A and B are shown apart, each in its own frame.
Chain A
Amino acid sequence: MDKPVIDIKNLWFSFNGEPVLQDVNFTLYHKEFLAMIGPNGGGKTTLLKLMLGLFEADRGEIRVFGRPPKQVAHRIGYVPQDIHINKNFPISVLDVVLMGKLRSGISWSHYKKDDRITAQAALKKVEMEQFKNRHIDELSGGQRQRVFIARALVTEPEILILDEPTASVDAKGQGEIYTILKDLNEKVTILVVSHDLLALSSYIKSVACVNRRVHFHGAAEVTEEMLEMAYQCPVELIAHGLPHRVLRTHNGD
């Protein structure tokens, strides 16, 4: 937890004249495991895409590994939201993972033997090796997410960014995915957008609430306010399994 891998200062972003993010300050440290929560339309996915260099900020500064995101986006592993992907697409599990081995720029886009070995190793890591020849459509939501994580892993990322990886996954599948992420966190910085804060609370190290502005909560303290943001309705905390809860108000709201 020494130097920041992502550093955002006074960032503003609007879409079609509508402000989406206002005066965001955000720092993500090496080997952090951060959960990002907030209401739908609060700007979570937008913030991720700014970090990946897919969007340009109106004002402010983003530095990833000390450089503009576009130059270093290949060092970030990205697991997009499942719903944006065409499920009928004729593609096998192994071919999806191999996508992480694409070379940048213009060249003959074939895969080498090494690429296949790496892709299979990544599938093994997420326990999906036996499904490598399956059509991606034949997998369950949780299995598909693990394939997307494997695809991000073959890019040998230093940061792993996941956008709602457990949105269409049952409780058992969620646990499996978080366990995989926890193992990966020994080497890789992880940022995960999620609504299941309670399920995540034993894995994460800190929480950021995104609702136009961003509020940070250092150690993994789950507050009532955070749960309200995550579930978008008042929540009462019950002490079981949440020993370190502290209620804190956001400054300036």
Chain B
Amino acid sequence: MFEVLQFEFMRNALVAGLLASIICGIIGTFVVVNRIAFLAGGIAHAAYGGIGLAFFFGLPYIVGTLGFTLFAAMIMAAVTLKARDRADTFIGVLWAGGMGLGVLLLDLTPGYNVDLMSYLFGSILAVPQSDLWQMLVMCLSVGLIVIFFYNDFLAMSYDEEFAQLRGVPVKGLYFLLIGMIALSIVMIIRVVGLILVIALLTIPPYIAEKYARSLSMMMLISTLLCCMFTMTGLWLSYIFNLTSGATIIMVAVAAFFISFLVQYLNSRRLYSKAIGD
């Protein structure tokens, strides 16, 4: 199987998968413990409107998509803070609106037929070197921000009111967190597609949460799981000649159900042991 590594596109795909895993492991952990998976999904889909804008106005991908996605994400963050009980509806509207806007703008873009699928499922086998550098910078920035604010983020995620009483700037940190999520999603969509972004942001941290004893350990386990899913998915897609993004997702989803089953059997075993005693 190692002979595939002689192809540059395969090496790039592996590096892209690794970098995406690190970003998803860190950011996804915050998404899961703060229970904002729906918000992250909303950001990922609203990003599609940004892609449409970028093509329609002939802007560079990063400028158009990041600008629009950050804008949508900040609105979602503000609504979540102001009216928590109505936030889900609002996010749903931006989710659908972003998608619709994106498709219409691509329709209206003259002479260009962009492949919708490549943004839904990504094209990890066609990642150019320049994207890898962007992802590396992204990885380092997210890493540094999280190290600097680690305990503040931890307190905000665990008990927001207490953090606020201690003078932690929870509102600012919340916007920073949502901003980082938006930035990560925009970066990774181009590589793995928006559906895979959501899968990688939520599934590995969900499994990791059960075994981790600290937030940092959860990030580490999530990153390792992300890597495992990406590498296994890529390998299977190469062997069976399948779509890489969808294969990675199915590996992650299979792992999700296996972890569920293991947990169920464990609790059964503990239960029957307790009865037996």
Contact = CB atoms under 8 A, between A and B. Distances in A.
Given A91-B158, A95-B214, A151-B162, A110 B151 contact: yes
Interface string B187-231: 000000000000000000000011011110110000000000000
A102 to B, nearest CB: 5
Interface of A: 52, 54, 73-74, 76, 78, 80, 84-86, 88-92, 95-96, 98-100, 102-106, 108-111, 135, 151, 155
4 shortest interchain CB distances as A-B pairs: A104-B167, A109-B151, A90-B212, A109-B152
A89 B151 contact: no
Interface string B157-184: 1110111111111001000000000000
Given A73-B165, A90-B212, 12 more contacts: A54-B165, A74-B167, A85-B159, A89-B157, A89-B158, A90-B209, A90-B218, A91-B214, A95-B154, A102-B167, A102-B168, A106-B169
Contacts of A86: 33, 35, 158
A42 B214 CA distance: 37
B155 interface: yes
B176 to A, nearest CB: 10
A74 B166 contact: yes
Interface of B: 33, 35, 148-155, 157-159, 161-169, 172, 209-210, 212-215, 217-218
Contacts of A99: 151, 154-155, 158-159, 162-163, 166
Contacts of B166: 74, 99-100, 102, 104, 155
Contact of B159 (A80, A104, A111): A80
A102 B159 contact: no
Contact of B161 (A78, A98, A102, A104): A78
Nearest to A133: B213
Contacts, number: 82
Contacts of B161: 54, 78, 80, 84
Contact of A54 (B151, B164, B209, B217): B164
Contacts of A52: 165
Contacts of A78: 161-162, 165
Contacts of B35: 86
12 contacts: A54-B164, A74-B167, A90-B33, A90-B215, A91-B158, A95-B214, A99-B151, A99-B158, A99-B162, A100-B166, A102-B168, A108-B148
A116 to B, nearest CB: 12
Most buried by B among A89, A103, A106, A151: A89
A246 to B, nearest CB: 37
Contact of A91 (B148, B150, B215): B215
Contacts of B213: 90, 92, 135
A84 B158 CA distance: 10
Contacts of B148: 108-109
Contact of A102 (B163, B215, B217): B163
B214 A109 contact: no
Given A99-B162, A108-B148, A109-B148, A91 B154 contact: yes
Contacts of A100: 166
Nearest to A79: B162
A6 to B, nearest CB: 15
Contact of B167 (A76, A95, A96, A105): A105
A98 B151 contact: yes
Nearest to B205: A90
Nearest to A78: B165
Given A73-B165, A86-B33, A92 B151 contact: no
B151 to A, nearest CB: 4
Contacts of A155: 166
A76 B167 CA distance: 12
Contacts of A104: 166-168
B215 to A, nearest CB: 6
Given A88-B209, A90-B212, A91-B215, A105 B169 contact: yes
Contacts of B218: 90
Nearest to A53: B165
A74 B165 contact: yes
Contacts of B150: 109-110
Contacts of B212: 90
Nearest to B157: A89
A213 to B, nearest CB: 25
A76 B165 contact: yes
B159 to A, nearest CB: 6
A199 to B, nearest CB: 26
Contacts of A54: 161, 164-165
A111 to B, nearest CB: 7
Contacts of B159: 80, 84-85, 99
